[in-house]
A = this chain, B = another copy of it.
Amino acid sequence: MNRREFLVGAGCIAAAAGCRSASGARRAAGSRAKFRLGMAGYTYKDYKTDAMLDEMQKLDVHNLCVKAFHLPLTATDAEIAEFKAKCAAHGVVPYALGPIDMYTDEDAEKAFAFAKRFGAKLIVGLPATKGKTPVWTDRVANYELCKTISALCDRYDIRFAIHNHGPDMPQCFPTAESIVEAVKDLSPRMGICLDIAHEYRSFKDPVASIRKYGEKIYDFHLKNLTTDATRMPDIAVPLPRGFLDLRAIVAALEEVGYDGCCSIEYEAAYDNNTVPLAECVGYWKGITGE
């Protein structure tokens, strides 16, 4: 007696398979999430590449913005190929590179040449001038370098998303608005990597920013933060436990037709973040319809 006969015999199920009720509880075929979930490489700054990819596979996350500490810009073609093979073996698509800090034309050219060798179509970065002190928060937006980058975008057919870094770096693209202002006369391939927590910490409403600058958003850093919006440093919390209403964020992204990745940048517990990240991933799937 096989399992089915056993069940039928027990009166538990109808004999004919066709009698199974049309199940409202069954997940609709082809249903999918509204957005591609990803990881910002910075989330794994204390993980080596193999460990990071194992973590992503375990957490069912399939898109990665690659940071230099996982693959340096000096990587050879063979090293790039090995990195991409590892990603593929873990079901991970390295969809972009960065954020990459840039100070000079040479920095920018090196980054674009690397992106071309890598096959990336998107770089996230920060065109800056070093400040009066070596403190990273003293950096200043580098508008001349933006022009160089703009030309490189068009030469390589690669998009460049400037990352807003909030009030910690007030002179260097703190907000989406400051980025749009800087790129408005440059290549359309230049846009924003919107970090919603840094945006909020700059006393901007991320929902309004998404609505206003939606078509210029090329990458997206997903995080949440505690209620004290002025807190420095920013305190990361699992996505469902923070102050920002991520449902409203998702609705705004839908409204503007965002089609990039939404990548979790979890800035805490860098060496042991599996549990909070699992909560983040579950929540994001929950609010985006996966």
Binding site for B on A (CB under 8 A): 3-4, 6-7, 10-14, 19-28, 31, 58-60, 167, 170-171, 174-175, 196, 200, 202-208, 230, 232, 238-245, 247-249, 252, 274-276, 278-290
Closest 4 CB pairs of A and B: A286-B286, A282-B282, A10-B170, A24-B207
Candidates B202, B207, B249; contact of A13 at CB < 8 Å: B202
Task: Give chain B residues whose Cβ lies under 8 Å from the Cβ of A11.
Answer: 170
Q: A27-B244, A238-B278 are in contact. List 18 more A-B contacts (CB 8 A).
A: A3-B230, A6-B170, A7-B230, A10-B170, A12-B167, A12-B174, A20-B203, A23-B206, A24-B207, A25-B208, A25-B244, A25-B249, A27-B243, A279-B281, A279-B282, A282-B284, A283-B285, A285-B286
Task: Give chain B residues whose Cβ lies under 8 Å from the Cβ of A25.
Answer: 196, 200, 205-208, 244-245, 248-249
Q: A12-B202, A12-B203, A244-B26 are in contact. Are A286 and B275 (CB under 8 A)?
A: no
Q: Tell whether, in the assembled complex, residue A13 and residue B285 are in contact, meaning their CB atoms are under 8 Å apart.
A: no
Task: Give chain B residues whose Cβ lies under 8 Å from the Cβ of A202.
Answer: 12-13
Q: Report the bound CA distance from A249 to B208 in whole Å.
A: 33
Task: Give chain B residues whose Cβ lies under 8 Å from the Cβ of A203.
Answer: 7, 12-14, 19-21
What's the least CB distance linking A250 to chain B, in Å?
10
- Nearest-neighbor residue (CB-CB) of A33 within chain B: B240
Q: Report the bound CA distance from A171 to B245 in whole Å.
A: 47
Task: Give chain B residues whose Cβ lies under 8 Å from the Cβ of A26.
Answer: 205, 243-245
- Nearest-neighbor residue (CB-CB) of A204 within chain B: B21
What's the least CB distance linking A34 to chain B, in Å?
12
Which of A19, A247, A282 has the most B CB atoms < 10 Å from its CB? A282
Q: Tell whether, in the assembled complex, residue B10 and residue A290 are in contact, meaning their CB atoms are under 8 Å apart.
A: no
Q: Report the bound CA distance from A175 to B12 in whole Å.
A: 9
Task: Give chain B residues whose Cβ lies under 8 Å from the Cβ of A60.
Answer: 241
Candidates B170, B274, B276, B282; contact of A240 at CB < 8 Å: B282
Candidates B27, B196, B243, B286; contact of A282 at CB < 8 Å: B286
What's the least CB distance linking A148 to chain B, in Å?
26
Q: Tell whether, in the assembled complex, residue B285 and residue A230 are in contact, meaning their CB atoms are under 8 Å apart.
A: no
Task: Give chain B residues whose Cβ lies under 8 Å from the Cβ of A23.
Answer: 200, 205-207
Q: Report the bound CA distance from A121 to B78 in whole Å.
A: 66
Q: Report the bound CA distance from A249 to B23 in whole Å.
A: 11
Q: Report the bound CA distance from A28 to B207 in whole Å.
A: 14
Task: Give chain B residues whose Cβ lies under 8 Å from the Cβ of A58.
Answer: 275
Q: Tell whether, in the assembled complex, residue A279 and residue B174 are in contact, meaning their CB atoms are under 8 Å apart.
A: no
Which of A25, A174, A200 has the most B CB atoms < 10 Å from its CB? A25
Q: Report the bound CA distance from A206 to B278 in whole Å.
A: 27
